[in-house]
Structures are given as structure tokens and as C-alpha cells.
Amino acid sequence: EMCIRDSLKGVQTAEDALVALRIGARGIVISNHGGRVCSGSRSSLASLQEISSCLRAKGLLGKMELLFDGGIRHGSDVFKAMCLGASGVGIGRVYYWAAAAYGHEGVVAAVRLLSEQLRHTMAQAGVPNLQLLSPSMLCRVDEPHRPLELTWQDADSVVVAKL
């Protein structure tokens, strides 16, 4: 059972997570405070990865709740966060959109949809339960996107398309 009482919100670094643990926080909420408005902000997912890797390396993962608050829109987003060590996720925007459009029924439907998407993602990864999720189930691509260039040529012309 998760508890956000005695938790700190807005933790973005492993160093701050260790301080939170040392002062007795029961959990942290990993969030960049809506960093989408600051063009250079670090993603909450990158912060989660750093924090959970540090805690795992020191044998401290599981000593406090890691609640992830950062752009959850689909069940696959929940899967990624949980693989990286999150104890739970915030679904604020999905919740608000569903409530604004359809009230209580919309929220119930949104939570069901997220749960179903998470189950499908787990099934595709061959994982029967949340306790078996781990970072090794994710693939990370660090290279910047490079356009794909397709060339088609016939006797009269050459067509080059960059995607």
C-alpha cells in the first residue's frame, strides 16, 4: 500500500533521493514540475532512471516509495516507469481529461483503459506480474534521430525522399 504522506515531491536527482531517504521520507515523487514549459528541462523518466539505478546499486531500492509523475498517457508508459523502479505512477492529466469530458464514468473508463494497455504490454513482454518487471525489459536508443533517406531511380528520373 502506497502512502504519499511524508513524501517529497519534485525530486530529480539521485543525490536528492538519498537525502530524502536519510531524513526519513517514506517516499518521493519524481517530477519535473511540468517541465514541458521549460524547454531545457530534464525528463522525469531520465530522473527516475538515475534515481532507481543509484538506489539499486546501493541496495536501497524498495526502502521508500518511488512515485513517478511525468507524462503518463498509455499503459506502455506505466510499464516503462515500473520497469525503471517506480512503485506507482500519477495519472493527473488523463484523470482530468476523462473527468472533464465524461465525469466519473470517464475516469473509470480511463483507468480501465490504462490497466488494459498495461496488461497487453506486459503480455507482449512475456511478464505475468508487476513484481517481475526490470530495467532489462526496456531498450534505450541514445542516438539522435537520423532521417531515413530513400532513393528511387528509373530511366528518366531520381526521387529522393527523407523521412
Q: Which residues are catalytic?
A: 33
Q: Which residues pair with 151 in a beta bridge?
A: 160
The number of angstroms, rounded, from the C-alpha of 13 to the middle of its chain's C-alpha atoms is 15
Cβ atoms of 98 and 109 within 8 Å: the answer is yes
Give the integer Cα–Cα distance in Å for 68 and 66.
6
Give the integer Cα–Cα distance in Å for 130 and 134.
9
Q: How far is CA 1 from CA 26, 88, 110, in A?
A: 12, 10, 22
> What stretch of H or E contains 75?
helix 75-83
The percent helix, strand, coil of the chain (3-state, each to 5) is 45, 15, 40
The secondary structure of residue 41, as a DSSP letter, is P
